[in-house]
Structure 1
Amino acid sequence: MASVEEVRQVVGDVLQLGERTAALERETPLIGNIPEFDSMAVVSVVTSLEDQFGVVIEDDEISAETFETVGSLVDFVNSKL
């Protein structure tokens, strides 16, 4: 199972958030809240999550709801495991 900490670290690393990574909680909004989280960042985060957790994420599985919060992203990753 993917933990909030693991997903938070992937997001923080991809977006190069540095110390701001520690502030990401399960309820933290992603898209629209973090300026660095644009469409290109979504692709990079998906690729990193695939590598980190050994899953395959199809394009049609990605939605705005998936990236709504850190928690929704964790839940999505866990649904793929």
Structure 2
Amino acid sequence: MQNDTDDLLRAVLTDVLGLKPGQAAGFTAQTGLFGALPELDSMAVANLLAEIEDRMGITIDDEDVDGDLLADYGSLLGFVAARREAA
């Protein structure tokens, strides 16, 4: 499921943020997100999280959302993967 989650998350980031084709494919666990990607501003965060919930079939609570969650790709992927496994 981890690989499936990784592929889905890269697709969501590309679709919601309007990233260039293949841009998300190059993300590593250390790739910065919030504050590093100009496309991921405070307005885009809500849309991104809503789309992750819809496509992944998970719920993201307000208390889950902090600076660490969107700090880098690895943090976001780890969170989403854990939620999918628990669902």
Shorter-chain TM-score range: 0.7 to 0.9
Structure 2 residue aligned with 1:42 = 45
Identity %: 35
Structure with more contact order per residue of length (Cα contacts < 8 Å, sep ≥ 6): 1
Q: How does 1:1-81 map to 2 (within 5 A)?
A: 1-2=1-2, 3-19=5-21, 20-81=23-84
For normalisation by structure 1, the TM-score amounts to 0.87
Any unmatched runs of 5+ in structure 2? Answer: none
Any unmatched runs of 5+ in structure 1? Answer: none
> Does 15-24 or 64-73 show the bigger shift?
15-24
The answer to whether the 8 Å contact 1:4/1:25 transfers is no
State the structure with more CA Rg.
Answer: 2
CA shift, 1:24, in A, is 2.2
Large movers: runs of 4+ above 6 Å: none
For normalisation by structure 2, the TM-score amounts to 0.82
Distance in 1, matches of 2:67 and 2:45, equals: 10
